[in-house]
Amino acid sequence: MKTFGFFDDQNREYVITDPATPFPWINYLGNEDFFGLISNTAGGYNFYKDAKFRRITRYRYNSVPMDNGGRYFYINDGESVWSPGWKPCKTKLDSYECRHGMNYTRITGSKNEVEASVLFFVPLKTWAEIQKVTIKNTSNKVKRLKLFSYTEWCLWNAATDGENFQRNLSTGEVEIENGGAAIYHKTEYKERRNHYAYYAVTNAQVDGYDTDRESFVGLYNDLSEPQCVTAGKPSNSVAHGWSPIASQYIEVTLQPGEQKDYIFLLGYAENAQEQKFAVGGTPADSTLITSLGTLDHTIINKEKAHEVIARFSTVEAVDAAYNELRQMWDELLSKYTVKSDDERMNRMVNIWNQYQCMITFNFSRSASFFESGVGRGMGFRDSNQDLVGFVHQVPSRARQRIIDIASTQFPDGGCYHQYQPLTKRGNNDIGGGFNDDPCWLIFGTVAYIKETGDFSILDEMVPFDNQPGTEVTLFDHLRISFNHVVENLGPHMLPLIGRADWNDCLNLNCFSWDPNESFQTTENNSEGSKAESLMIAGLFVLTGKQYVELCNKIARGEEAARAQKCIDAMVEAVKKHGWDGEWYLRAYDYYGNKIGSNECEEGKIFIESQGFCTMAGIGLEDGMVDRALDSCKKYLDSKHGMVLNHPAFTKYYVEMGEISSYPAGYKENAGIFCHNNPWVIIGETVARRGNDAWEHYTKICPAWIEDQTLHKVEPYVYCQMVAGKDAAKPGEGKNSWLTGTAAWNWITITQYILGIKPTYDGIEIDPCIPSTLKEYTVHRVLRDAEFDITIKNPNGKQSGVSQIVLDGSAIEGNIITATPGHHVVEVTM
């Protein structure tokens, strides 16, 4: 079978060996504030904090050809013009390799005995991307090369950048310094903006530049053959409106065997209002030309850019910053590691699953090659889920995130569905009313406290809807969240669904016949609605139990008892009105009709309620959990994982909304929505069925992908959806990277399968593994304690421990206190 790359576990890299991957295979640069998306051919873009409001470089989504625009380098060697990343020239290379690592990417190409390698990364605590270009003459002749760089500025707001051309084509402004070695983008700087961007060569003089796209590329050329590159001569253009770019030109002479490094730096800076302009309007550097032609008070105060340029003006400084980044990842990935005979599991647990958790934590669902960065900010439920996969890496950032999320909640517990990362304000365009949202705040907060033991977060004063003066404690937010479900029950005493629950596309109160309105935001018919959700019921029982445990832990026994009664009532309601005989119902619709029942013509069984009700253990003692899990296997499972519902909807049901708008087998209509496979897998561990849990786990796990052409998207990360069994191409992946799948599979494998769970006091050891797994070791750092836990399974069991020896002495039970220091734990199943 054709492959396009392989895992290099030693270096924690995925190595792509053929640039023409079935879809751009991307990576993320930067891990706080300044970010970049980069494909295996150097396509992509950068932004500061918010992919919508602070887009730095321009990118055209769904372009022809695919993945057009990025940070490009061209080499004109007199014979041919080529790019080390193959694109945009697409000149046939003599060799090509792209290594995607932890927040860095290295792309190397060679042609005509010249090798060019570019290392892309964002140094820690820096608002800039470094592109270190290393060019080597591998021949025995002198080589004279012409090197051009290219990047296109976005006019900051990625949404209006793509639509408001009557304005945009007149506003672009740049400044040029040092003969083009530094190019500044300052559109709108003279008025309200206090920020600018720059692209600079930090360690060499340049021999020319371009800042106007048309002058550089040619109006009717495409990026594969810019006229300046073909002619081997820059035009030293100064952009006035139209489309400002940044391109440097360097003449490179290399002796046989010689190699040279050029450091390019793409940065962003903000100035306080009173410090926006260069002192007295006279620039420090007399070679400066403004786009207006004269020097005036609109000249940027460039101190901040100069500082960063100076800081990274040597190869040594750049290499040191790169090493710091690598060290940070050594550190981040050292909190949980596994050693076993299964190298695929090892690489997911030790590298790629954790890495993806950090990425989804950073971006929520905002910016990927499937999320344009303009539509969505940070999801309320999404972020709470993401942080459970990330909290062990940098707990302080998870803490801040919890406070930020809770600050967007309303006094009645309802939530904005999303908020913008730049302002941290709820996003009105998306609205609220998703009745599962509040529960997730409990889920996220509990995970944080169990990881850190930091109960003080519960006392933090947190406002409603960011309104100063409305602050209550975070604990109160949790109580209000819990109550939001209790106060919104329907006729069967099950939770009312509101606009939708986790499944954004199960729109039971929407009734839309108008293709011009959005299922997500259009006016809902909630008045008199009987639409109830079994998914929220299960989620409520699961997170409700967490809430009760927390209340008991902090000596709020009365509140715990009150909450427990609500949970017991919900369990009863599910058993009575939520069970269909072989599985849990999915919902009741507006009229009170069943959804996800054997009585239905299509959509007889849904995964979400099976996942949540089995995770919550509802009816475990009555055999409901086992039966529901068996039904998942029988009706939902397929070669590539479990589909969301079965049978798929083949027509539009106005009373169900967007779910039935998707073609059968895609997205929420019977796609394999990877996000909820782990719910069922955790359910399998509740039922102690280790073999079944494992089988489901390996079906959607990237490291097990065999057919890369069919799978299409990156084979090193989870995607949101894989086409289901009713689709035209079952097994084809889409929407890679930003998905709650990452966090859920992280806790599934590490806590529920390998069975190492953080608790308030320490670690609970509770494996539920395939009987074939005979031994593994987990290294886990929790707070000030460090554990080396070896689990032996000599008799091929699927769950349960028979003996635990801690630092040489056998202990009772399966919980180990997190006492500071190093501990050796030997477990026999």
Distance CA 230, CA 219 (A): 14
HEC string of 649-693 equals: CCCCCCCCHHHHHCCCCECCECCEEHHHHHHHHHHHHHCCCHHHH
Contacting residue, 504, 589, 637, 766, with ligand NOJ by CB under 6 A: 504
For 560, phi then psi, to 5°, come to -60, -45
Please report, as residue ranges, which positions from 361 to 380 form the binding site for ligand NOJ (by CB under 6 A): 365, 379
Residues in 654-673 that interact with ligand BGC by CB under 6 A: 658, 667-668
The type of residue at 269 is A
Asked if 381 is part of the footprint of ligand NOJ (rule: CB under 6 A), the reply reads yes
The Cβ of residue 516 has, within 10 Å, a number of other Cβ atoms equal to: 6
Binding mask 215-254 for ligand BGC (x = CB under 6 A): ----------------------------------------
Q: Is 52 in the site for ligand BGC (CB under 6 A)?
A: no
210 near ligand NOJ (CB under 6 A): no
Closer residue to ligand NOJ (CB): 182 or 738: 738
Query: What's the closest the beta carbon of residue 120 comes to ligand BGC, in angstroms?
Result: 30
Counting contacts by CB under 6 A, is residue 504 touching ligand BGC?
A: yes
Please name the residues in contact with 11: beta carbons below 8 A apart, sequence gap of 6 or more: 99, 101
Residue 212 binds which of ligand BGC, ligand NOJ, none (CB < 5-8 A, kind-dependent): none
Cis peptide before 421 (omega within 30 of 0): no
- Strand pairing category for 821-828 and 785-792: parallel
b/e per residue 396-409 (b: at least 16 CB within 10 A): ebbbebbbbbbbbb
757's enclosing H/E stretch is strand 756-758
Q: Quick one: how far is CA 653 from the chain centroid?
A: 32
Q: Is the dihedral of CA 361, 365, 369, 375 positive or negative?
A: negative
Q: With beta carbons less than 8 A apart as the criterion, state whether 440 and 70 touch.
A: no
Q: Does 499 bind ligand NOJ (CB under 6 A)?
A: no
Please name the helix (run of DSSP H) or strand (run of DSSP E) that holds residue 328, with its range, or none: helix 315-332
| Minimum CB distance to ligand BGC smaller for 502 or for 787 | 502
624-683 residues near ligand NOJ, rule: CB under 6 A: 668
767 preceded by a cis bond (ω within 30 of 0): no
Residue 110 site contact among ligand BGC, ligand NOJ, none (CB < 5 to 8 Å, cut-off depends on kind): none
Q: Nearest residue to ligand BGC, using CB?
A: 504
- Which of these, 598, 593, 603, 741, lies nearest to 673 by C-alpha position? 741
Residue of 505, 506, 571, 700 that binds ligand BGC (CB under 6 A): 505
Q: Which stretch binds ligand NOJ (CB under 6 A): 46-54, 485-493, 499-507, 592-600?
A: 499-507
501 binds, among ligand BGC, ligand NOJ, none (CB under 5 to 8 A by kind): none
Could you tell me how many residues of this chain bind ligand NOJ (CB under 6 A)? Answer: 9
Task: Say whether residue 586 binds ligand NOJ (CB under 6 A).
Answer: no
Burial of 388: CB neighbours in 10 Å, binned 0-12, 13-18, 19+: buried
Nearest CB to ligand BGC, comparing residues 210 and 668: 668
Q: Which stretch binds ligand NOJ (CB under 6 A): 119-127, 194-202, 395-403, 498-506?
A: 498-506
User: 681 near 752, Cβ under 8 Å?
Assistant: yes
Helices assigned H by DSSP within 269-314: 303-311
For residue 523, what is the DSSP state? P
| From candidates 382, 386, 559, 626, binder to ligand NOJ by CB under 6 A | 382
CB 659 within 8 A of CB 669: yes
Task: Specify the residue, 300 or 500, whose C-beta has the smaller distance to ligand NOJ.
Answer: 500
User: Binds 379, which of ligand BGC, ligand NOJ, none (CB < 5 to 8 A, cut-off by type)?
Assistant: ligand NOJ
Residues 61-80 as x/- pattern, contact with ligand NOJ by CB under 6 A: --------------------
Q: Exactly one of 50, 436, 504, 637 is catalytic; which is it?
A: 504
- Tell me whether residue 161 is one of the annotated catalytic residues: no
Binding mask 513-542 for ligand BGC (x = CB under 6 A): -------x----------------------
Residues in contact with ligand BGC by the rule CB under 6 A: 504-505, 520, 658, 667-668
Q: Cite the active site residues.
A: 504
Which residues here bind ligand NOJ, judged by CB under 6 A?
365, 379, 381-382, 502-505, 668
